[in-house]
């Protein structure tokens, strides 16, 4: 049996906007708004209005997740649900009651809450009025919202996270048009990335002013996609170096080390696209680093030297420094278009050990979603052996990293119950529990029964 350390946290992750539905929300977030103006942009026209109905079903949902071995649950508090007045951070009492009830129910069911504060769900009013995180004023409003969450729920929640996958906010909203506001503006993307790091540091400062006994921890959730070069040719190596700087280190380094990589700063500065910053802001980032790190991992990145020189006359985009590379013979999740390469999780573990002070970290998302999952239903149960294999293969590599001394304390599968997934809606399903979105009847999959044994045994048989 592969056994994990004592008190290893077995869990699952979801988010407010992907699970709750829009019930009783006073404000829209950017996805609520986008769906309201262009429902055809979403797979099968399915939007976030119902999602997996967690707002109404949270009591039974939590019991079902606990039955599937989920002892720790990461979800998020929706800024657009909790706050009535964004400038003053006044709260909606119905939302306060809802999140209090959810947290209390988690604890009653033996589930430890891990709470994230921003999961791609910028309130549309702030996006329209200020450009969302294009504005440094919004970083102050975000810090007010975060502090209100700490005040309301910090007596029971001891694991907090400022952002989920900030790089996806950049990629989707400012580079490749798969999140609202659907802009393509490389230099603006650089500034938004900086402003998100600044917002995170401002929230962390509020957190440590409020909690001083070390019992509560605050971190950030980063999707790490280490870039492997197509060859050891110096141009391929240079392409991979930049891809790692941009995709991982631009958020990883300020979050843990308190400063940006010098090579990234030089490249952006030489290109004339470096973010606007002040010495005071950089000092704030330096002195407000995270206590623990969440790592979302699904697939590696493979790159090669660009076919067109970045010195060419062209609009600045980060991908002018590299081209994607498809490794022959790679194993794929064909439905999603992602390579499956579990060894990357070991490489991440060693990188954190060697280059980031061996900070306390956990796998905050890992999972496999496929399309048309109903084809695997037999006797009313999804026979998702592919998901069990995916998790096992990644856990083997994670275990090797832990054995090598990396300070990983948990593994959270994405996700507990099938959830709404942005433009993709329910095209790819990731849950340990199936959600029939037409009836909201939820049933544990084969993987959920297996995950219960994994969680209870703190390991699995080879």
- pLDDT tens for residues 269-316? 999 999 999 999 999 999 999 999 999 999 999 999 999 999 999 999
- pLDDT tens for residues 386-441? 999 999 999 999 999 999 999 999 999 999 999 999 999 999 999 999 999 999 99
Catalytic residue among 281, 292, 365, 397: 365
Architecture of domain 2-460: Alpha-Beta Barrel (3.20)
What's the token pair of residue 77?
């508090």
pTM above 0.75, yes or no: yes
DSSP-derived secondary structure for 140-206? HHHHHHHHHHHHHHTTT--EEEEEE-HHHHHIIIIISSSSTT----HHHHHHHHHHHHHHHHHHHHH
- pLDDT tens for residues 143-166? 999 999 999 999 999 999 999 999
Q: How confident is the model at residue 262 (pLDDT cuts 50, 70, 90)?
A: very high
214 or 188: which leads in pLDDT:
188
Looking at the chain, the whole-number percentage of residues with pLDDT higher than 90 is: 99
Catalytic residue among 20, 134, 165, 301: 165
**How far is Cα 239 from Cα 228, in angstroms, rounded to an integer?**
9
Instruction: Give me the pLDDT at residue 317, please.
Output: 98
Neighbouring C-beta atoms of residue 57, cutoff 10 Å: 18
Instruction: Give me the pLDDT at residue 462, please.
Output: 84
Q: How confident is the model at residue 214 (pLDDT cuts 50, 70, 90)?
A: confident
**How far is Cα 153 from Cα 147, in angstroms, rounded to an integer?**
10
Q: How confident is the model at residue 45 (pLDDT cuts 50, 70, 90)?
A: very high
DSSP-derived secondary structure for 305-341? --SS-TTSSS---GGGG-EE---TT--EETTTTEE--
The b-or-e profile of 305-342 (16+ CB within 10 A means b, else e) is bbeeebeeeeeebbbbbbbebeeeeeeebeebebbbbb
- pLDDT tens for residues 47-57? 999 999 999 99
What's the token pair of residue 328?
């022959």
Q: Is the peptide bond before 394 cis (omega within 30 degrees of 0)?
A: no
**122: alpha, beta or left? (left if phi > 0; alpha if psi -120 to 50):** beta
Instruction: Please say if 165 is a catalytic residue.
Output: yes
Proportion of the chain in helix, strand, coil states, percent, rounded to 5: 45, 20, 35
The residue extents of the domains of the chain are 2-460
Summary mean pLDDT of the chain: 98
Instruction: Give me the pLDDT at residue 213, please.
Output: 86
Instruction: Please say if 365 is a catalytic residue.
Output: yes
**How far is Cα 395 from Cα 202, in angstroms, rounded to an integer?**
34
């Amino acid at each position: 049996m592969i056994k994990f350390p004592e008190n290893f946290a077995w869990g699952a992750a979801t988010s407010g906007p992907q699970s709750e539905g829009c019930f009783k929300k006073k404000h829209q977030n950017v996805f609520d708004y986008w769906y309201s103006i262009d429902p055809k942009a979403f797979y099968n026209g399915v939007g976030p209005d119902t999602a997996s109905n967690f707002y109404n079903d949270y009591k039974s949902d939590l019991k079902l997740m606990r039955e599937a071995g989920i002892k720790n649950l990461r979800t998020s508090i929706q800024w657009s649900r909790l706050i009535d007045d964004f400038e003053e951070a006044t709260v909606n009492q119905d939302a306060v009651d809802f999140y209090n009830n959810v947290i209390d129910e988690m604890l009653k069911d033996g589930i430890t809450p891990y709470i994230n504060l921003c999961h791609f769900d910028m309130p549309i009013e702030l996006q329209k009025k200020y450009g969302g995180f294009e504005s440094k004023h919004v970083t102050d409003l975000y810090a007010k919202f975060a502090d209100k969450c700490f005040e309301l729920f910090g007596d029971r929640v001891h694991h907090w996270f400022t952002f989920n996958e900030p790089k996806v906010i950049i990629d989707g909203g400012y580079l490749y048009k798969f999140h609202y506001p659907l802009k393509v503006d490389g230099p603006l993307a650089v500034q938004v990335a900086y402003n998100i790091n600044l917002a995170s540091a401002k929230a962390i400062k509020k957190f440590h002013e409020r909690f001083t006994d070390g019992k509560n921890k605050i971190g950030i959730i980063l999707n790490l996609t280490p870039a492997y070069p197509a060859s050891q040719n110096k141009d391929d190596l240079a392409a991979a170096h930049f891809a790692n700087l941009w995709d991982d280190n631009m958020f990883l380094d300020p979050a843990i080390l308190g400063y940006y990589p010098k090579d990234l700063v030089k490249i952006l500065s030489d290109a004339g696209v470096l973010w606007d910053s002040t010495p005071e802001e950089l000092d704030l980032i330096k002195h407000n680093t995270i206590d623990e790190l969440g790592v979302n991992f699904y697939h590696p990145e493979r790159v090669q030297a660009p076919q067109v020189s970045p010195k060419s006359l062209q609009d600045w985009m980060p991908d002018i420094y590299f081209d994607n590379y498809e490794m022959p013979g790679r194993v794929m999740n064909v439905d999603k278009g992602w390579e499956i390469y579990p060894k990357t999780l070991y490489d991440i573990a060693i990188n954190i050990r060697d280059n980031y002070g061996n900070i306390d970290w956990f796998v905050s998302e890992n999972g496999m979603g496929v399309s048309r999952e109903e084809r695997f239903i037999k006797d009313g149960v999804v026979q998702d052996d592919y998901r069990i294999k995916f998790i096992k293969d990644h856990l083997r590599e994670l275990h090797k990293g832990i054995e090598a001394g990396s300070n990983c304390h948990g593994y959270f599968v994405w996700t507990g119950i099938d959830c709404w997934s942005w433009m993709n809606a329910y095209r790819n399903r990731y849950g340990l529990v199936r959600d029939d979105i037409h009836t909201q009847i939820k049933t544990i999959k084969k993987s959920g029964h297996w995950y219960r044994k994994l969680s209870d045994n703190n390991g699995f048989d080879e």
